[in-house]
Amino acid sequence: MKTKDLVLIAMYATLFTVLEYVSVTFGLLKMPQGGSISISAVALIIASYHLGFKKSLIVSAISIIIMLLITPPYFLTVGQFMADYVFSYMSYSTAVLFKDLRFGDKIFPTGAIMSNVLRFMWHNIAGWLFFASYYEGNVLTGVMLYNASYMVPTMIISAFLVLLIRPKLKKEIIL
């Protein structure tokens, strides 16, 4: 790996750390059982577009460790932990794998949307693992609605920020 790659990986992990700290400190919507609207995902999505899938996985892994240091998690099983933290945040590395849709001169950031959808799915799996043994009734719908309450705004905000940031970065660096 080149020095430039290491510097970019460190830069994106640092950007994630700052945005995550701001999100945790001044959170817009903090859910009682975990989860909140967060702008830190933007750093991981941009890293995916810029560095590609493999290198952005490294950024995600570093970012997950830092995120766990900022806010220690509560989990009951290893499967729930892996789905809720590791796989969900590593989903952002897939943003580069989805081709953007073009409508004339407008670009729709499919990767930003789909990586958030994947994260949403992993959070649902974690919720189903966690709540299935404690609650009666329709856990599937309850978990999905709960996670959608913060993941849909996160998806909209991150896609909007990616739309604003990417063209400016294209002028400075190759994206």
For residue 71, the one-letter residue type is T
Give percent helix, percent strand, percent coil of the chain, each to the nearest 5: 75, 5, 20
- The closest alpha carbon to 46, from 154, 156, 171, 163, belongs to 163
- pLDDT tens digits, one per residue of 108-140: 899 999 999 999 999 999 988 887 777 777 788
- Structural domain that includes position 16: 3-172
Total length of the chain: 175
Whole-structure pTM value: 0.89
Residue 61 binned pLDDT confidence (cut-offs 50, 70, 90): very high
Q: What's the rounded Cα separation, in Å, for the pair 60 and 42?
A: 12
Spatial CB neighbours of 144, under 8 Å, sequence gap ≥ 6? 124
Mean per-residue pLDDT, 19-46: 82
How many domains, the chain?
1
- The CATH number of whichever domain residue 37 belongs to comes to 1.10.1760.20
